[in-house]
């Protein structure tokens, strides 16, 4: 089972570069059995979505592995992913996150709304790693979700959708235990011109920001049930590349499903 730490641990962690402190839960770095999936609660006001349909362009990325569609404006994005284990011996500063989001793929616009799960080595026990669900709207810091317990091997569904007057809701559900959290309406004014399903090397910030080294994970991360509402003008297939080494690689899309595999270190 996931065991809570005795005290809160200060963790400077943000998927896109902001710092935050929150209590964490830890699991052994040894294997953890997956539990049977359960039905995902669906908020009644989430509109229907369409599947991805375009052939992708392959992109070499320093920190993203997965798929990103551009066009929009997007008013809904949804996807389900599995939560991996970190491999024994993973250094503390090697971190990982799986998430679903809107915006964030442009170098000229730093807007982003997203929800996901992070894994990183436990600073108090090098034989364990922490698992933390969260949501975020830049430029505000990441917000941890304390009411949903996520275990390695679980399936997690994240859905983000627009409401009137430039407000949005975010839902994150653990499909195995049925625990679910939905934000109240939150203000977001980004252009909504991209939607993403990503495994990311996260960024730690204190007096500066540094993208982590790729955390070795197993088994592969499975994304499924990909959907969005908005015009799909292009589709990118992102692979994390360090030097000449492909570190995390997505498979081809098949029936709105793909996997991301850790393929090695540079």
Domain ranges of the chain: 3-26+45-262
For residues 180 and 157, what is the distance between their CA atoms, to the nearest angstrom?
9
Please check whether residue 198 is in contact with residue 15, taking contact to mean a CB–CB distance below 8 angstroms. no
The CATH topology of domain 3-26+45-262 is: Jelly Rolls (2.60.120)
For residues 24 and 146, what is the distance between their CA atoms, to the nearest angstrom?
9
Closest Cα partner for 177 from 20, 24, 36?
36
For residues 172 and 174, what is the distance between their CA atoms, to the nearest angstrom?
7
Residues lower than pLDDT 70 in the chain = 1-48, 126, 203-214, 265-266
pLDDT number for residue 50: 73
Residue 150's CB is within 10 A of a number of other CB atoms, namely 24
223: helix, strand or coil: strand
For residues 193 and 39, what is the distance between their CA atoms, to the nearest angstrom?
30
Please check whether residue 99 is in contact with residue 115, taking contact to mean a CB–CB distance below 8 angstroms. yes
Please check whether residue 131 is in contact with residue 215, taking contact to mean a CB–CB distance below 8 angstroms. no
Query: pTM here?
Result: 0.82
Instruction: Please report where in the chains the tokens 């081809």 appear, as a residue.
Output: 252
Query: DSSP label at 87?
Result: P
134: helix, strand or coil: strand
For residues 130 and 5, what is the distance between their CA atoms, to the nearest angstrom?
9
For residues 252 and 104, what is the distance between their CA atoms, to the nearest angstrom?
22
pLDDT number for residue 255: 87
């Amino acid at each position: 089972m996931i065991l809570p730490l005795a005290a809160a641990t200060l963790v400077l962690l943000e998927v896109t570069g902001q710092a935050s402190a929150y209590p964490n839960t830890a699991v052994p770095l040894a294997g953890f059995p997956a539990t049977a999936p359960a039905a995902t609660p669906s908020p009644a006001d989430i509109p229907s979505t369409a599947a991805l349909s375009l052939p992708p362009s392959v992109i070499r990325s320093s920190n993203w592995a997965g798929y990103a569609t551009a066009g929009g404006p997007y008013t809904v994005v949804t996807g389900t992913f599995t939560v991996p284990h970190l491999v024994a011996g993973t250094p503390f500063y090697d971190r990982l996150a799986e998430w679903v989001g809107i915006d964030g793929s442009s170098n000229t616009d730093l807007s982003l709304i997203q929800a996901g799960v992070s894994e990183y080595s436990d600073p108090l026990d090098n034989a364990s790693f922490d698992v933390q669900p969260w949501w975020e709207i830049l430029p505000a810091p990441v917000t941890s979700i304390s009411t949903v317990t996520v275990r390695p091997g679980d399936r997690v569904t994240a859905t983000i959708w627009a409401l009137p007057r430039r407000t949005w809701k975010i839902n994150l559900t653990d499909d195995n235990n049925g625990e679910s959290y939905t934000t109240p309406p939150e203000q977001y004014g980004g252009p909504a011109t991209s939607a993403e399903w990503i495994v990311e090397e996260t960024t730690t910030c204190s007096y500066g920001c540094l993208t982590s080294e790729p955390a070795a994970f197993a088994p592969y991360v499975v994304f499924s049930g990909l959907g969005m509402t908005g015009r799909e003008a292009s589709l990118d297939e992102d692979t994390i590349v360090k030097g000449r080494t492909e570190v995390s690689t997505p498979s081809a899309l098949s029936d709105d499903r793909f996997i991301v595999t850790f393929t090695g270190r540079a």
